[in-house]
Amino acid sequence: MAGVTATLGLGAVILSFLGASPLEAYRLIVTGAAGSPERIAYALTAWAPILLCSAGLLLTFAAGVWNIGIEGQVILGAICATGTLRALEHGAQGWVGVMLAGLAALLGGGGWGVLAGALRAYGNVNEIFGGLGLNFIAGSLTVYLVLGPWARTGIASTSGTLPFGDALWLPAIRIPPFVVPAEVIVGLVAVALVSGTLGGARFGLRLKAIGKSARAAYIRGVPITREMLWAFATCGGLGGLAGFVLVTGAYSRHQLFPLISGGYGFLAILVVLLAGHHAGMGILVSAFFAAVSTGSLQLPLQMQLDSSMGGIIEGMLVLVVLMLRGLLSRLAGARR
């Protein structure tokens, strides 16, 4: 809470420096995220992929690794979902195609995650560097697909593949006057499942043990390589599902396009950094990030400010909270 206050204060300083009224800017962000049922629906649409990625990252975080490759895993999920939908578009019933696309995304993202994990386990490549490399490869793959095999006929543009018809969209639940995209439910269920895994499953306990001390866990007989690969697989799978909802969500673009991951994976890393092991906290922080991200889109329209102000606020929140934590632990140390 102190972190949020300090961040808003610092943000206000920056905004005043830019000659803008901080209060007006914050009002726009709030109304931009929650000003109308439609805007709320957009904010919820942004929330779902962050939730899914955060759920996955809670696992790898518990195991003490930084799955920076989450962005690539999101992209792979989007690619696999798109590929499946293209193949089934005219063959199967809509909902069957969507379910299969979700499964393909889960497997594709999971596979990409296992790759990062295997590079670490067997190739001695730090998961941060391996993940970054795999992110680049996944990003380039989308460009290739969008310009090459999956290009729209007669158009050579990176704007994206041919959008899918609405039979292949995820449903939205109408609770007048609100509209809730179905993927939000998927995201919340994922966080709940991961939270349960970390709290009560043997897999979760083993991951925690590995995260606290891989050496001791090994000597105590925990199969650390296997569990670590499963953590990467599950995290990548959930990232892949995020890619799937980015393609099929009711308010998404219903196509594959370069940079489809949109930084949601990186944002989720920040969420987990702030939330630590607390799934509930992760839900709150990711909702805040989703709201700021969508709300700040109003800034350029109304105030001639760039929408990157949202990113500045998010980044500052992370830095301020981490700094406060550091200061507190230093104070605690000094008192001892």
Partner 1 sequence: MHVELKDIHKSFGPVRANDGISLVAEAGTIRGLLGENGAGKSTLMKILSGFSRPDGGQILLDGAPVSVTSPAEAIRLGIGMLHQDPLDFPRLLVLDNFLLGSPGRWIADRRRARDTLSALAGRFAFTLDPDSTCASLTVGERQQLEIVRLLWLGARVLILDEPTSAISAPQRITLFAALRAMAEEGKVVFFVSHKLEEVQSLCDTVTVLRRGRVAGELSMPYATGRLVELMFGRDPQRAPRARVTPGVPALELAGVTLSDARLTVADLSFQVCAGEVVGLAGLEGSGQHQFLQACAGLVRPAAGRVRVAGHDMTGRPFREFLAAKVAYVPAGRLGEGLIPGLTITEHVALADRRRAVFVDRRAAAQSAAQRIREFGIRGTPRTTVEELSGGNQQRTLLALLPNDLAALLVEHPTRGLDVESAEYVWGRLLERRARGTGIVFASSDLDELLDRSDRILVFFTGRVAGPLDARRTSVEQLGELIGGAGF
Binding site for partner 1 (CB under 8 A): 200-203, 205-206, 208-209, 212-213, 215-223
Q: Which is nearer to partner 1, 118 or 319 (CB)?
A: 118
Shortest Cβ 336–partner 1 spacing (Å): 11
Q: Which is nearer to partner 1, 218 or 266 (CB)?
A: 218
- What token pair was written down for 67? 């799955």
- What token pair was written down for 237? 């799978």
Q: Which is nearer to partner 1, 20 or 62 (CB)?
A: 62
Shortest Cβ 186–partner 1 spacing (Å): 22
Q: Which is nearer to partner 1, 206 or 254 (CB)?
A: 206
- What token pair was written down for 148? 């090459």
Alpha-carbon span 14 to 35, nearest angstrom = 24
Calculate ∠ Cα 287-288-292, nearest 5°.
115
Q: Are 37 and 177 in contact (CB under 8 A)?
A: yes
Shortest Cβ 127–partner 1 spacing (Å): 21
Shortest Cβ 308–partner 1 spacing (Å): 38
Q: Which is nearer to partner 1, 36 or 213 (CB)?
A: 213
Q: Which is nearer to partner 1, 90 or 215 (CB)?
A: 215
Phi and psi at residue 221, to the nearest 5°? 95, 10
Shortest Cβ 219–partner 1 spacing (Å): 6
Shortest Cβ 197–partner 1 spacing (Å): 9
Name the helix (H) or strand (E) containing 301.
Answer: helix 298-303
Residues 17, 21, 23, 25, CA torsion sign: negative
Alpha-carbon span 21 to 9, nearest angstrom = 13
Cis peptide before 177 (omega within 30 of 0): yes
Shortest Cβ 91–partner 1 spacing (Å): 36
Shortest Cβ 63–partner 1 spacing (Å): 13
Q: How far is CA 113 from CA 29, 270, 278, 306, in A?
A: 35, 19, 23, 34
Q: How many CA atoms lie within 13 A of 167 on its CB side?
A: 12
Q: Which is nearer to partner 1, 162 or 205 (CB)?
A: 205
Closest CA to 53 of 261, 223, 212: 261
Q: Report the Cα–Cα distance between both ends of the chain, in Å, rounded.
A: 26
Q: Which is nearer to partner 1, 197 or 294 (CB)?
A: 197
